[in-house]
Amino acid sequence: MKELSLHILDIVQNSVKAKADKIDIIINENIKDNLLEITISDNGCGMSEDFLKTVKDPFSTTRTTRKVGMGISLFEAAAIQSGGHLDIKSKLGQGTTLYVCFMHNSIDRAPIGNMIDTMITIILSAPEIQYVYKHCKNEKEFVFDTDVIKQSLGDIPITTPEILEWIKGYMQEGLASL
């Protein structure tokens, strides 16, 4: 994957499949300590200890159509090649938290990429879920919470094209202010 935002898009699909109704995405750019951290946590069905042990293995998957699942392994490879690592914590019935870190200035670290398109894509894939995206950089932060948006929308769906356009502009301004 060319962008970290594409990995995030991919990993969030796991949370959607785990029947989460709230998914938190936190990107923390700590430039002082040369650290980039991404945390994705959900309140979905979680994983058993046995499955958790094998989950980073590309030959481990919940898919029934075939025997490979690459999402987490690819994300871990992206972290390791730029001096970081990936950790997953999960409790059955409570949810899963995936944490990845990178050396911020590593030449092998992929760019964060287009988080706006990633958010629009996951909103469209499961609009009923509450997504909270927090991006911290240089001691400033931008928080985007779909529940706040939905409260302002009343019975207009968040997937209405005009609303998605507005969300894009809103996130553009918010991220540019960091």
Partner 1 sequence: MKSLAELQQLRDQISQQVVLRKDREDGIRVVVGMATCGIAAGARPVMSAFLNEVSKRKLSDVTVTQTGCIGMCRLEPIVEIYMPGEEKVTYVKMNEEKVARIVAEHIINKKPVAEYTVGAVQE
To the nearest whole angstrom, how small is the minimum distance from the Cβ of residue 32 to partner 1? 28
Nearest CB to partner 1, comparing residues 49 and 152: 152
To the nearest whole angstrom, how small is the minimum distance from the Cβ of residue 147 to partner 1? 12
Nearest CB to partner 1, comparing residues 101 and 115: 115
The rounded distance, in Å, linking the Cα atoms of 47 and 170 is 35
Nearest CB to partner 1, comparing residues 67 and 91: 67
To the nearest whole angstrom, how small is the minimum distance from the Cβ of residue 137 to partner 1? 18
Nearest CA among 120, 121, 122, 100 for reference residue 110: 100
C-beta neighbour count of 172 within 10 angstroms: 11
The rounded distance, in Å, linking the Cα atoms of 97 and 46 is 9
**Interface residues with partner 1 (CB under 8 A)?**
1, 6, 9-10, 13, 63, 65-66, 69-71, 74, 114, 117-118, 120-121, 124-125, 148-149, 152-157, 160-166, 169-170, 173
As a whole number of angstroms, the longest Cα–Cα distance in the chain is 46
163: amino acid identity, one letter: I
Cβ atoms of 72 and 86 within 8 Å: the answer is: yes
Nearest CB to partner 1, comparing residues 21 and 165: 165
- The C-alpha torsion from 71 through 59 and 104 to 38, rounded to 10°, is 50
Nearest CB to partner 1, comparing residues 108 and 173: 173
Nearest CA among 47, 45, 42 for reference residue 22: 42
To the nearest whole angstrom, how small is the minimum distance from the Cβ of residue 149 to partner 1? 7
To the nearest whole angstrom, how small is the minimum distance from the Cβ of residue 87 to partner 1? 20
